[in-house]
Structure 1
Amino acid sequence: MYRNASGFGRALRNAAVVLLCAVVGGGLLAACGSGENKEPPPSPSGTQGAASTAPAAGANSPEPAGERKVKDELGHELVVPASPKRIFAPYLEDSLLKLGLKPVAQWSNGNQALEYLQEELKDVPKLDLSTGLPSPEVLLSYNPDLIILHTSSYAGNGVYENYSKIAPTYVFNNASGNIEKSLLALGELVGKQAEAEQALKAYRDKAETAKKKLEQAVGGKKVAILRFAPKGVSLMGANYLCGYVVHQDLGLGRSKLVEKENSANITLEILPELDADYIFVINQYGQGTERLREMTESPVWKSIPAVKQGHVYELNDMHWLGSGLIAYEKMIDDTLKLLVQ
């Protein structure tokens, strides 16, 4: 039917910090379960917000040596270490690795972490975020000196207020909305500006080289990226994540169904309108199997020209739903392998 294309020594803070946590009291611990669970964006190519006050130095007090005052994308002012060493930044592992850094814990859904990063993160403990962010006392056990939240939805329900009492907490509006912008902001935040700029240049060079090869091999052809999930099937547009890579960075055409949309719901009734020469299939974390079987076994699916020609490829869901340049580079490699003969 289709072809497969991819084959926390400090247990707690020192006594002073523990005392501080006790002083903070029940208000902090009462929010243990707070934090909205956000499914990993599927990330690429954002900012707005409400102001808050800095948890550390006063507005007119001098910054301690080795620290800097910054403002996050929601308007919070905070004082951060010049060179943070223990960073908690769930779902930003890809970008941290690009800057030569490792987090104190890595995002996971149950026991399933970002598979494509496991060689680099094999010694980093997994932290299950399937039911929300960790409680303050769990996070405190990792002794972070900087907390970074990749989306504003993570900061709600008192999470920001609680986390900022543990360590400086920086919040992105949506780090997955524009990977290049987010990487530069992250580089500046952690004192790795040069590394961020170098990584971006290498990525842009790689994308430009691949784009030229694709123009020669399949110039003018359209690619449809179908994401199968428990709630339905969506056609990825060109404004974020893998859709951005394929359609913006690599210049491949997209279906009229997403010419002006970030994504489109695809049903059997709409399927005949899917104009694409190639179809990329993503089974989201293996949770879209039922939807995938239902659609691909239908006569409507089998009647699509791309299907008849054998131009349907199932992709690695982990890096094709990834949010960072490492994932993007792997997407480029896959696309060249599939479409450039």
Structure 2
Amino acid sequence: MKRFMKFIILFAFVASMLAGCAKAPEADNTTAEDSNNQVAETEVQDKDAGTDSESAWPRTYVDGLGKEVIIEKEPQRIVVLHFGYTEYLLALDVVPVGVASLSIAQQFETLNQYEELNTIIDVGETVSPNLEKILELQPDLIIAGAGIHDDMRESLKKIAPVVFKKNYGKWDETLQDYAQMLGREEKAEQYIESSKEIISQTYRELEKYSDKTFVFLRPSSKSEFGIVGSEIYSHYHDSQNGFGMNVPENYPESWAEISLEALVEMNPDYIFFQDKEELCRQKVAEMESSSVWNSITAVKEGNIGYLDISLNTGSPLAIRLASEQILEYLK
């Protein structure tokens, strides 16, 4: 249980970086699958584009602690001290040499497409990275977490320049911030535009469910369920810049712990669990004998889906995978 709680604590930090933003949908006949294929073809062509030609070095980056960090040249050996950052780097075709809590990142379905993940070295736990391992990797940039590694700042600075990431709110703003740090502005814009197209196509395909309500849950040790907030994961619910999935009345904007009775009051048409599938199925099995649980519309109609735990990061990779998994379930 302690190990599970530590995992939840780490994901809570990642969840603070979440929100969605995309172009308002416009009618056309392209499916989300077609869009994903087109995006994949474009990104293969861009894969080796490298640093933007207009990028100048050295550059000054203001990090999450408000500190100005001078980055002398394009970083080639980056160590990241939170596994959740890995997705943003790989979206920009940047492969770090070291990642804290790498074993967690290796479980993410968002990262299964990257063979490069096997070349990365684990540098210890997120909350207590191993300084000796970091030093051995001879990094030229360390990306730490504001609010997590603040006390290690001076020690890390002795190894390499250090930047601290903070909550930038929206996924595209966060990606742009990484790009500004790494000189990948053009790559970021391409990725953002293609991601917005996927979001827009997903919205169109989900319009047939406009009269249905959805909730996104996680198992919880404090109450019956943890519920994923509509504002934190706005890419699911925003009708202008997201998938447009309706939520029931009283659905919280932020992460919240809720009782079974509260879920019954919401009475959603669909329930998606977004965590380790084994844990989620175990939770559902525990509820099967409950008449209260079985009174929920989604339960009565068998509308319970399971999404990969990596979607909790809310990264551009997570948003794309969410589109695939949600549409696949609703087929």
* Bin for the TM-score computed over the shorter chain: 0.7 to 0.9
Give the TM-score taking structure 2 as reference length: 0.76
Alignment of 1:221 onto 2:221: no
Aligned length: 276
Instruction: State how far apart, in whole Å, the 2-side matches of 1:110 and 1:103 are.
Output: 15
**Structure 1 residues 68-87: Cα deviation after superposition (integer angstroms, max 9, x where no partner):** 22211221111113310011
1:84 to 59, 64, 75: 75
Name structure 1 gaps, 5 residues minimum: 1-36, 46-64
Kindly provide the CA deviation profile for residues 284-326 of structure 1, in whole angstroms up to 9, marking residues without a partner as x.
4755666444334422111111111111112222x22234211
List aligned pairs for 1:129-278, cutoff 5 A: 129=125, 132-149=127-144, 151-156=145-150, 158-174=151-167, 177-215=169-207, 217-232=208-223, 233-240=225-232, 243-248=233-238, 249-259=242-252, 261-278=253-270
Q: Which has the larger radius of gyration?
A: 1
Measure the CA separation in 2 of the matches of 1:66 and 1:255: 50
Go from structure 1 to structure 2 and tell me whether the alpha carbon gap of 1:106 and 1:68 turns closer, same or farther (over 3 Å shift): same
SS where residue 153 of structure 1 aligns?
coil
Show structure 2 runs of 5+ residues with no match. Answer: 1-7, 20-55
2:61 and 2:191 map into 1 onto residues whose CA distance is: 23
- SS in structure 2 of the partner of residue 258 of structure 1: coil
Q: Hey, what's the Cα distance between the residues in 2 that align with 1:125 and 1:71?
A: 27
Deviations 1:155-205 (A, max 9, x none): 33x212221222111112225x32211100100100100001110000001
3-state DSSP class of the match of 2:129? coil
Residue matched to 2:118: 122
Give the % identical residues. 26
Match of 1:73 in 2: 64
For residues 134 and 168 of structure 1, the distance between their equivalents in structure 2, rounded to whole angstroms, comes to: 16
If each structure's helix is expressed as a fraction of its own residues, which one has the higher value? 2
Structure 1 residue ranges, 4+ long, deviating more than 4 angstroms after superposition: 109-112, 284-292
Instruction: Calculate the aligned-residue CA RMSD, in Å.
Output: 2.4
**Which residue in the other structure is 1:32 paired with?**
none
Are the counterparts in 1 of residues 271 and 298 from structure 2 also a CA contact under 8 Å? yes
Query: Is 1:281 paired with 2:265?
Result: no
Which position in structure 2 is the counterpart of 1:39?
Answer: 10
Residues 107-144 of structure 1, C-alpha deviations (whole Å, 9 max, x = no match): 437566343214411222234426x2313222211211
Q: Counterpart of 2:271 in 1: which secondary structure?
A: strand
Aligned equivalents of 1:338, 1:294: Cα separation in 2? 23
**Equivalent residue in structure 2 for 1:96, among 84, 89, 107:** 89
